[in-house]
Structure 1
Amino acid sequence: MTTTIPSAQGEVTVGDVLRTSRTYTVDEVREFQRLSGYPDNPQPRFLPYLLVVAPLTKLGGDIDYLSGRMTWSVRRPVAVGEEITAELEITRLEPVEGATKIGFEARIRCGDEVVVTGTSKGLVLGEHA
């Protein structure tokens, strides 16, 4: 029997890849800086790291993911106005009492170039299968 879990993109199982894309404007970056207490930069060149990985948290929210451990590697900064595509590739689903253990590989792409990679393990609460 194949283990599946629900997501905002439909049922997913090991090997499936969830994706979402996003492009941040200068105004959005400036608003993030203002809300975060960063000094104002009228023409920010690069995205703050938290905005780069934010689409991954959106995908995690789509599957009600609770993180246990994450590792990340950043290959280069992402420029304001560059489209980023976040991908979560499900590598493990293991039912346990009241939850499903999950593991995935994560990537942030700018076009064909992978600019952030990572792995994460955690839980999806609720009975699934």
Structure 2
Amino acid sequence: MTTIPSAQGDVTVGDVLTTSRTYTVDEVREFRRLSDPAAAAADVSHLPYLLVVAPLTKLGGDLNYLSGHMVWTVSRPVAVTETVTAELEITRLTPAGNGTKIAFEARIRCGDEVVVSGQSRGIVLSA
């Protein structure tokens, strides 16, 4: 059985990594100001898409993951007051040269509702 290290401990096929985040209105305003000053005064009732999926990038960073392919489906906008929980379920690990090929199913949940789902595959680099 192939395992790889992560910030959450060693993981293998079938494991699910999770992390959650709730953003404040001030954080969303600051993100908008930094990313597009012209949009800084825009409505802050919903999260920008990049903030919704940011917890997934945190999980990828925990694995030292480099993406080769991603496909995502978004079902609805996320309100600023909602907590987003990212889940990364490992579906494949295959040793390969200087790393391990990986595939996973990913979800962003708000409560029990999946608001973003997708798949990705790439490589986890060896230390």
Q: State the TM-score, normalizing by the size of structure 1.
A: 0.94
In the TM superposition, 1:21-100 aligns within 5 A as 21-38=20-37, 39-41=39-41, 44-100=44-100
Q: How many residues align?
A: 126
Identity of aligned residues (%): 72
Whole-Å separation in 2 of the counterparts to 1:36 and 1:125: 30
- Gaps of at least 5 residues in structure 2 are none
Whole-Å separation in 2 of the counterparts to 1:41 and 1:74: 25
Q: Tell me which stretches of 4 or more aligned residues in structure 1 moved more than 3 Å.
A: none
* Structure-2 residue corresponding to 1:122: 122
Matched, 1:3 2:10: no
Whole-Å separation in 2 of the counterparts to 1:8 and 1:105: 19
- Gaps of at least 5 residues in structure 1 are none
CA offsets per residue over residues 13-39 of structure 1, 9 Å max, x none?
A: 000000000000000000000000151
Q: Kindly state the Cα deviation for residue 41 of structure 1 after the two structures are TM-superposed.
A: 2.7
Whole-Å separation in 1 of the counterparts to 2:61 and 2:126: 14
Whole-Å separation in 2 of the counterparts to 1:26 and 1:95: 43
